[in-house]
Amino acid sequence: LPIIRAHVSPDYVPDSKFYKVEAILRPWRIPQVSAALLKMGIRGVTVSDVRGFGAQGGMTERQAGSEFSEDKFVAKVKMEIVVSKSQVEAVIDKIIEEARTGEIGDGKIFLFPVSDVIRVRTGERGELAERMMGGRTDMSSPWSST
Ligand code: ATP
Ligand code: GLN
């Protein structure tokens, strides 16, 4: 399937060092999405089972029998990924590439500025806390790949 991008906006408002990419997606697409993100060095991801209502309305997924809802809300998965500003577009592109079927109910992506990141184990903040060992930044640095 071709990827449809209306336009790319490299200058987000408000400006921030980090952003949260929040994607509401079809549950049965999650394994594919997370595998692709991991492959591109995105290692910090949080997922939650949620239920939602959009254009798809109460129509349950045809592709998976396990997705059953007794009311108008359809089972979805919320994926939250905090990344540095320079990684946002690549993450969005990958999610679209892996999650899209072209049918109503493919989901939506929301982008939020993130003020700070704090690693509980070390107390690190900012870039130090957001970076992950073997993460995308490490992968793209030629001097760190041994
Ligand atoms: P440590 O090195 O102390 O293990 P870490 O950065 O690897 O720190 P974890 O403590 O493993 O972080 O993270 C706990 C949880 O926080 C993860 O299971 C994940 O749900 C969430 N998480 C971590 N980083 C991110 C991120 N960048 N985006 C979204 N969720 C994240
Ligand atoms: N930006 C981090 C890094 O390059 C990765 C963030 C993430 O995995 N969510 O290490």
Q: pTM of the predicted model, to two decimals?
A: 0.88
94 CA to centre of ligand 2 in angstroms:
14
82 CA to centre of ligand 2 in angstroms:
7
Q: How do residues 40-85 score in pLDDT, each as one tens digit?
A: 999 999 999 999 998 878 777 654 455 554 568 999 999 999 999 9
Q: If you count them, how many residues does the chain have? A: 146
Going across the sheet that includes 74-84, the strands are 46-52, 74-84, 18-25, 107-114
Indicate the average pLDDT of the chain. 89
Whether ipTM > 0.90 holds is yes
Instruction: Give the mean pLDDT of 90-95.
Output: 98
Residue 141 pLDDT? 79
Percent of the chain that is helix, strand, coil (3-state, to 5): 25, 25, 50
Taking 60 as the threshold, does the pLDDT of residue 145 lie above it? Answer: no
* DSSP tag of 21: E
Residue 102 pLDDT? 97
Ligand 2 pocket (Cβ < 6 Å) reads 42-44, 81-84, 87, 130-132, 135-137
For 114, phi then psi, to 5°, come to: -120, 125
Look at ligand 1, atom 7, and give the residue with the nearest C-alpha: 132
Taking 80 as the threshold, does the pLDDT of residue 98 lie above it? Answer: yes
Taking 60 as the threshold, does the pLDDT of residue 6 lie above it? Answer: no
Look at ligand 1, atom 3, and give the residue with the nearest C-alpha: 121
130 CA to centre of ligand 2 in angstroms:
6
Q: How do residues 21-42 score in pLDDT, each as one tens digit?
A: 999 999 999 999 999 999 999 9
Cite the beta strand spans of the chain per DSSP E: 18-25, 46-52, 74-84, 107-114
Task: Answer whether 43's CB lies under 8 Å from 83's CB.
Answer: no
Q: How do residues 113-135 score in pLDDT, each as one tens digit?
A: 999 999 999 999 999 999 999 99
Taking 60 as the threshold, does the pLDDT of residue 14 lie above it? Answer: yes
Residue 3 pLDDT? 65
